[in-house]
Structure 1
């Protein structure tokens, strides 16, 4: 094992398994995307550099890049790994997942370059992103077609990917027409059509599985009606946002908060759990918090006409829920699939704690004076959280498994 740990990095190993390649690309994408966004926030506040003006508002681009390029790198890495396992079918080969990775890597790279005065590259960046997405979706669809059983978690995740493809189609509609209604819809589809359903589906299947693997006597609890109910609530939220009926969101978000809090209570072990399992549970705890904030903001709007919390509920969801579980879930998969002990480790623990602070800072910024300064501080804290974690993860993907096995 020591020899494996001290092995030199080998880029050829990235093609050995879908999670290696896609997680490696995701680690790079998350740092590059947030480095640009943090630079833009800080420069907008203090004007250190004479940066080119963007043809598309930076906040819109930040949302699109994170939702359709950064997080999908990890999502496809996970789904291309687990779909064959869930269905008992042969694993994908490198010819299946390498094109997906190339599309997401090149697509985001060109998108980011386009933001520094090279707008002609933006369309090409999204064309490559769409190509990578479509390749992954087609291969996953082929597995679903040959599924000998009815794997509802796979169907649920695949449905979310189809909504994600719809969102990318809306991005192209905006690029051709420059009608902001298409961009608004694309951003909403990314959050409540793609990311939240994928995350919830994976948690519904994997959190009880991980708990059962770590704790003797733990009884897995996966009520399928809860997954179906979640979909109804998520789609209702998406529809209300698309229709700008924010005063009605509390009708669906408060039940979503109750459903997710109840699942967390049922999943939470009644015994001491390892740190790697604890961060998974704590990461999921952000979902009822975010849904509650959405619901309370909606009720406040009904009673006062004020949109008090601004983007705070969205960032409780995106930084708190998505960000925390990104660190927790990817660390769990990386440790297990690299032949290492299923332990959290200091680097991942630091990243997880820093993400909690980032989420609180970004939520509180909505009510703080000099909001842009707080946004920049939150961006820097995000980079501080993710940089050591991403670099350590990238090293693991470039080196052989610690136990000497293939994969």
Structure 2
């Protein structure tokens, strides 16, 4: 950790390139806005892109493997130095990684003019670089506890590669094995990392306020829930038509609801930075239940899938981006009215997207959902962009107990 802090103190380049979360979180938010605008334009027939993918396949890819890849990059490039005490990637090397991500977005948009192996290679470049960085840091730092993160990022990249192959062979890949593998890897990351940070942050915040009831730490029961999650997601990837899967999905969703019931989420409603984490994890649990109900024919598959895609992934990534930005740029870990507003905007967007497939819901609900999604992530860019672009704030006075940081 001392080496990390010394490297940051000695850094003289642009502030936006001094830590991985800065350029990647800002890029992710801007892409979440721009990609949604492009999707709406294609959905309404107002515009098109010179690509080989159908619009639905492009839309699915660019949020799961485009937007999310930027968030994962920002997270791991920031977290790994803290986990291992080794030096962060910064300056020119970080700029190269950002350009790799940007090249992937351009290659996808112009894929109609490029050979598909070229599009695949360019789009995979960032994740391959991240896997190399993760593996090197974990091995050299002997930080074996985080080896599963390396495996999950690798499987996420494998899902993207398979997505490209399936799209080349059939032209449509938004619900094939590659998409399911990428989604399963992302959900497992949320279950693994969310299960660490949510009870930890909650405990710290409640302890600072003298609460008597505190969240449970990681126990054997959590291992059982994670094992059930891995089994459920593996079956989801390789045997989605298996009739038993619906029951496993329902069991897994119930297990996650039980797991998060031990984290005292009802006691943090006064702090948006915390309740949004609990809410996002709740969408993870509800996504398993929704998938089970969809296999019984009680809910449409697109609606169920967006509980995970927009709910668990969209909400969790926005929550983590806000919290990490505040913590690493020298601001108190306390959400203002603007941050609460972007969380609520995204929440309503998710709910509208889930119900938009019901026969009695007008198509305007889908468009309103997209608009609220844009507002949420544009709000992040406006509120947090200046923090990401400017140097870290200087030494601050200690926070009073009422706003003690929960990290």
The secondary structure found in structure 1 opposite 2:144 is coil
Quick one: distance in 2 between partners of 1:12 and 1:199?
A: 31
* Cα distance change, pair 150–284 in 1 and its aligned pair in 2 (3 A): same
1:6 is matched with none
How far the C-alpha of 1:148 sits from its partner, in A, is 2.8
Quick one: distance in 2 between partners of 1:39 and 1:72?
A: 23
2:181 is matched with 189
* Cα distance change, pair 53–330 in 1 and its aligned pair in 2 (3 A): closer
Regions of 4+ moved over 6 Å:
none
2:305 is matched with 314
Q: Aligned pair 1:147/2:149, yes or no?
A: no
CA contact (8 A) 1:340 1:403 kept: no
Structure 2: state its 5+ residue gaps. Answer: 1-11, 397-407
1:282 is matched with 279
Q: Aligned pair 1:398/2:389, yes or no?
A: yes
Quick one: distance in 2 between partners of 1:355 and 1:129?
A: 27
Quick one: distance in 2 between partners of 1:258 and 1:182?
A: 27
Q: Could you tell me which of 273, 293, 297 is aligned with 2:294? A: 297
CA contact (8 A) 1:123 1:175 kept: no
The secondary structure found in structure 2 opposite 1:311 is helix
Summarize the alignment of residues 154-303 of structure 1 with structure 2, pairs less than 5 Å apart: 154-174=146-166, 176-178=168-170, 180=172, 184-192=176-184, 194-216=185-207, 218=214, 221-223=217-219, 226-227=222-223, 229-245=225-241, 247-268=243-264, 271-272=267-268, 273-298=270-295, 300-301=296-297
The two structures, once aligned, show a CA RMSD in angstroms of 2.8
Quick one: distance in 2 between partners of 1:123 and 1:28?
A: 27
1:352 is matched with 343
1:337-358 deviation digits (Å, cap 9, x = unpaired):
1101111122221111111111
Aligned length: 379
CA contact (8 A) 2:273 2:335 kept: yes
Quick one: distance in 1 between partners of 2:225 and 2:94?
A: 32
2:42 is matched with 40
* Cα distance change, pair 389–182 in 1 and its aligned pair in 2 (3 A): closer
How far the C-alpha of 1:376 sits from its partner, in A, is 2.5
How far the C-alpha of 1:92 sits from its partner, in A, is 3.4
Q: What is the TM-score with the length of structure 2 in the denominator?
A: 0.84
* Cα distance change, pair 12–89 in 1 and its aligned pair in 2 (3 A): closer
Q: Aligned pair 1:15/2:17, yes or no?
A: yes
* Cα distance change, pair 40–86 in 1 and its aligned pair in 2 (3 A): same
* Cα distance change, pair 270–296 in 1 and its aligned pair in 2 (3 A): closer
1:61-96 deviation digits (Å, cap 9, x = unpaired):
111111111111011111111122223333334455
Quick one: distance in 2 between partners of 1:371 and 1:245?
A: 30
Quick one: distance in 2 between partners of 1:79 and 1:287?
A: 21
Structure 1: state its 5+ residue gaps. Answer: 1-9, 302-306
Q: What is the TM-score with the length of structure 1 in the denominator?
A: 0.84
CA contact (8 A) 2:16 2:23 kept: yes
How far the C-alpha of 1:317 sits from its partner, in A, is 1.2
1:304 is matched with none
